[in-house]
Amino acid sequence: MAAPTTPAEIGGIGHSVQRKEDARLIEGQGNFLDDIDLPSTLHMAILRSPLAHARINGIDSEAAMALDGVLAVVTGDLMDQHGLAWMPTLSGDTQAVLATDKVRYQGQEVAAVIATDPYIATDALELIEVDYEDLPPITTPQQSLEEGAALIRDEKEGQTDNLAYTWETGDKGATEEAFAQADRVVTLETHYPRSHPAPLETCGIVADVNSVTGQATIYMTSQAPHAHRTLFAMVAGLPEQNIRIVSPDIGGGFGNKVPIYPGYVVATAASLLIGQPVKWVESRTENLISTGFARDYYMKGELAVTDEGRILGLRVNMLSDQGAFYSDAQPTQFRAGLFHVVTGSYDFPAAHIDCKGAFTNKAPGGVAYRCSFRITEASYLIERLVQNAAYEVGIDPAEMRLRNFIQPEQFPYETATGFVYDSGDYPTALRTALDEVGYEDLRREQAEARAEGRLIGIGIAHFTEAVGAGPSRTYDIAGLKMIDSAELRVHPTGKAILKLGVKTQGQGHETTFAQIVAEVLGIPAIDIKVEHGDTDHTPYGLGTYASRSTPVGGAATAVVARKLADKSKKIAAHLLEAADEDIELASGVFSVAGSPDRSVTIQDVALAAYTNLPEGMEYGLEDVTYYDPPNLTYPYGSYIVVVEVDPDTGVWQVQRMVALDDCGVRINPMIVEGQICGGLTEGFAMSAMQWITFDEDGNCIGANFMDYLVPTAWETPKFELLATEVPSPHHPIGAKGVGESATVGSPAAFVNAVIDAVAHLGVRNIDMPVLPDRVWAAIDEAS
Amino acid sequence: MEVNITINGSEHASDVEPRTLLVDHIRRTVGLTGTHVGCDTTSCGACTVLMDGKPVKACTVLAAQADGSEVTTVEGLKGADGLHPVQQAFTDDHGLQCGFCTPGMMLVGASLIAENPDPSDDDVRWAISGNLCRCTGYINIVKAIRTAAARVAESSNGS
């Protein structure tokens, strides 16, 4: 790790500065969505479909309306009168706001009650009678694409089957050629199951529309407040200058708070019609059954390899379960996100990917759950395949990777699917992790244990992510280019305020982004206030998801700080009566080259910016930057997991977890490590226990925290963290982003470890989550 | 119905609906919003408060059941001489990220330390196993609670 260049009291890049946001949060003074209590607030509750697929023949809301305290029952017909019964999704589909014709998944929004009290609103739901007519539910994408399957999207013009999209990339011909030259083809068919981000705070809104002025102040659990403002303007037809989105403290997002959900639209419409603020906060069950699921890809990967263990090519066929509406939150031109990164960390010339998505009677969503779009699925598939290939070829899984890695001198490296990786040293990363875990000794112990009938497994994953979307030539969401921004104002006393287009959900932006400014200008990080989340007071940006805050917003911050450094040098030259080009800036001190005793501080310069300027210069010390990244960034890591599997029960325990991450330059090592520990835990969760399933009638199993198992402190393994630091060559401070690396990389490491424990029996796949009964069944079947 | 609950040392007499949950009473009637709601099945622990010194999940206690009891919420952790050691350790050890689970975690930690001045890693993990965190992976939460315990022990040994 590079040593920090600023002293601790300035707290620039590389210092583990304590978080500024903690002060309010540890004293219960955070301001989360449900804490917002405006005068005369009304409360909304949503009636949801108990059935997965049914026609609505009628809704009787008379009894609900008669309940004391109920102001309105909103139905799809009422929304339709305002042209708001349907809304566009982020993937170019339309989604029902409140159902008018039929319900297409369990938990779908059917009606909403607006009442003076949340208890009354919930009481009133019980009084609404809906006349449903059962239709056959379709619960798998395979069923959905069968001939004669019931048409889920019968309202959609031109839709004659349940196909949501098709997508293809790579070179089919070159890939076929590679496979023709292979000594063997290694195949893996596996399902990356449906999961849910389940941030501890659910989604919610307080819509406050002033019917006289037309001003709409919308408090919302939003990871992307600016994009949401524009989408609100487009969907609801509200003038954008009258919309102010305020995203307050957010209790975790992980992708769940990227889409616009029907509840937001209904609450806003209700506030507009009634003229009072309307609050809606999801219950946990509503959160899990209706908003923002992730994954659900059925993947078949084939790897063409030689007997020496060289990879020649990769072929992937996938089918994704989209639920009832295609509403993936992803860049518009990307039908299956950035799945291109499935070529992983390896140097081979040919790949081809063919993907289809199908509508089913399940909740829509398709969010990137703590990962860049579809990166976890891609990373998981290649890392599972490479391990299986090692078994088939008969070489060690670590050696298999070392033989196929992209070498450090090959960067920038263009992959077979056209991504250009920016930088990396994969062999050093893997070797460092192998040394730390004591790999050779472990392999020996594994062999000895096997002789005693004990099952030890060692799983490796060496992942490469593609984050920080993205360059404007390729990346947009609903036409909005995926740039991001920073505005920096230095006040006369030398203190500053930094305003961001991105928005924290716990990542610590208020600290780390101040550190970037501290690094460049030498203003102590503690003197820099970071403002974000309020669209009236921050410059435009596409928000925080896909690990894009540091790659895009962080870059904007460095660039705007450098703009102010340039102006500051001119002011310093004026104060020091020296030539502009002779001024040097280090840790907030401007000195004259060759005469270090002639100096002024950034605080002197800040005051002069408002009091004593060189002739012709404009007053003030502030600027704004919109950053259009030239490329994505490509963080990577080497993870090694050691497990012991109980052959009699299939229960597995993690014995070691060594995680080496290279996210380029680390702004705040403490925060980076915190992000990694959190991500590793979510990766462990998906590999071990966390999934959303449905029964054959389309009932969601996993609708609460008793059925949807997220790990507690008791199950969560302990982690040993390592780092290397290969900067991104195109990012202004060399940083790559880290919030999602561990969620992306670790599931394959955990699953590979369990497979490795039973691989000698011939087991090559156990689908996630790797539940004990599945492990037991795999052992039983193999032996 | 009339309930009388002492919250963070102040008496609050209120007329509540019998079905009112303690967490809603604390948040909406008394106006202390540091206690959070993260689920509806008593699973997540974001609503944890201390009732007569013991951690309870305030989403599963009726305000009526708390009648006559002393309740401590996160707003009551700080003492006259500054932050509670658990609060200080949470920020020192980076034991929080989004901060939503933090009040519950800190209250469980404070209660654990009061009972067990030298908790092991497993003691802490077991104590907080009724509280979910989706950000941190728990490592730094466990570390913070143990740091706080060590500091409390050190200061009581020193005095």
Whole-angstrom Cα distance, residue B5 to residue A335? Answer: 56
Tens digit of each residue's pLDDT (9 = 90 or more) over A162-220: 999 999 999 999 999 999 999 999 999 999 999 999 999 999 999 999 989 999 999 99
Predicted complex ipTM: 0.98
Which residues, 6 or more positions from B42, have their beta carbon under 8 angstroms from its beta carbon?
B57, B59, B60
- The answer, yes or no, to whether residue B159 has pLDDT greater than 80, is no
Structure-model confidence comparison of residues B159 and B73, the more confident one: B73
Query: How many angstroms separate the CA atoms of A50 and A288, rounded?
Result: 14
pLDDT score of A366 more than 90: no
Residues of A in contact with B37 (CB under 8 A): 34
**Backbone region of residue A577 per phi and psi (left: phi > 0; alpha: psi in -120 to 50; beta: other values):** left
pLDDT of residue A6: 97
Which of A26, A202, A712 is nearest residue B91 as measured by Cβ atoms? A26
Partner A contacted by B18 (CB < 8 A): no
> Which of A43, A200, A682 would best serve as a mutation to test chain B binding (most B beta carbons within 10 A)?
A200
Per-residue pLDDT, averaged over A220-228, amounts to 97
Looking at residue A596, what is its pLDDT?
A: 85
Distance CA A84, CA A262 (A): 10
Separation of alpha carbons B67 and B54, rounded Å:
15
DSSP code at position A120 = H
The confidence band for A612, taking pLDDT boundaries of 50, 70 and 90, is: very high
CA nearest to B86 within chain A: A26
Q: Check whether A117 has a pLDDT greater than 90.
A: yes
The pLDDT, as a whole number, for residue A1 is 75
- pLDDT of A587 over the 60 cut: yes
- Provide the mean pLDDT of chain A: 97
* Chain A residue with minimum CA distance to B78: A27
State the Cα–Cα distance between residues A79 and A74, nearest whole angstrom.
7
Q: How far apart are CA B121 and CA B143, in angstroms?
A: 8
Tell me how far apart the alpha carbons of residues B77 and A356 are, in angstroms, rounded to a whole number. Answer: 54
Instruction: Give which of A423, A419, A433 is closest to A462, Cα–Cα.
Output: A433
SS3 label, residue A153:
coil
Q: By the 8 A CB rule, do A338 and A466 touch?
A: yes
> What average pLDDT does range A59-81 have in this prediction?
97
Cβ–Cβ of A26/B90 closer than 8 Å? yes
Q: Which two tokens stand for residue B149?
A: 């315990």
Examine the pLDDT at A700 and tell me if it is beyond 70: yes
Q: What is the pLDDT of residue B157?
A: 81
Distance CA A65, CA A63 (A): 5
pLDDT at A448: 98
Distance from CA of B42 to the nearest CA of A (A): 9
Model confidence at A291, pLDDT cuts 50, 70, 90, reads very high
pLDDT of residue B158: 66
- What span, in angstroms and rounded, lies between the C-alpha atoms of A120 and B19? 12
Q: From edge to edge, which strands make up the β-sheet containing A583-586?
A: A583-586, A589-592, A595-601
Choice among A355, A371, A663, A700 that is catalytic: A371
Backbone φ and ψ for A734, nearest 5 degrees, come out as: 80, 10
DSSP, collapsed to helix, strand or coil, labels residue A222 as coil
Q: Catalytic site residue A720? A: no
Q: How far apart are CA A289 and CA A260, in angstroms?
A: 16
Q: What are the CA-CA distances from residue A747 to residues A193, A306, A385, A490, B150 (Å)?
A: 12, 27, 13, 44, 35
Chain B contact set for A718 (CB, 8 A) = 139
Q: From CA A238, how far away is CA A215, in angstroms rounded?
A: 9
Nearest Cα residue in chain A from B82: A27
pLDDT tens digits, one per residue of A231-261: 999 888 889 999 999 999 999 999 999 999 9
What the block records as the tokens of A624 is: 């704004």
pLDDT at residue A235, rounded to an integer: 81
Q: Which amino acid is at B12?
A: H
**Hey, CA dihedral for A372, A555, A528, B81, is it positive or negative?**
positive
Residue type at position A262? P
3-state class (DSSP) for residue A87? strand
Q: Which domains does chain B have, with CATH numbers?
A: 2-76 (3.10.20.30), 85-158 (1.10.150.120)
Residue A365's pLDDT is: 82
Question: Looking at beta carbons, which residues of chain A come within 8 Å of B100?
Answer: 30, 32, 199-201, 251-252
Residue by residue, DSSP assigns A711-728 as: --TTTPPP-EEEE-----
Instruction: Give the residue among A315, A353, A348, A311 at the shortest CA–CA distance from A336.
Output: A353
Query: In terms of DSSP bridges, do strands A94-96 and A413-414 run parallel, antiparallel, or are they unpaired?
Result: unpaired
Q: Is A577 a catalytic residue?
A: no
pLDDT of residue A37: 97
Tell me the average pLDDT across A423-441: 98
Q: Show the domains of chain A with their CATH numbers.
A: 22-30+484-627 (3.30.365.10), 33-135+202-250+257-290 (3.90.1170.50), 294-469+631-782 (3.30.365.10)
Q: What angle do CA A726, A553, A255 make, to 5 degrees?
A: 95
Residue owning tokens 């977890």? A657
pLDDT digit string, tens, across residues B82-124: 999 999 999 999 999 999 999 999 999 999 999 999 999 999 9
Q: What separation, in Å, do the N-terminal and C-terminal C-alpha atoms of chain B show?
A: 46
Whether the CB of B106 is below 8 Å from some CB of chain A: the reply is yes
Note the pLDDT tens digit of each residue in B6-22. 999 999 999 999 999 99
Dist. CA A668–CA A166, nearest whole Å = 41
Record the tokens describing residue A321, joined without a space: 């379960």
Q: Is B141 on the interface with A (CB under 8 A)?
A: yes
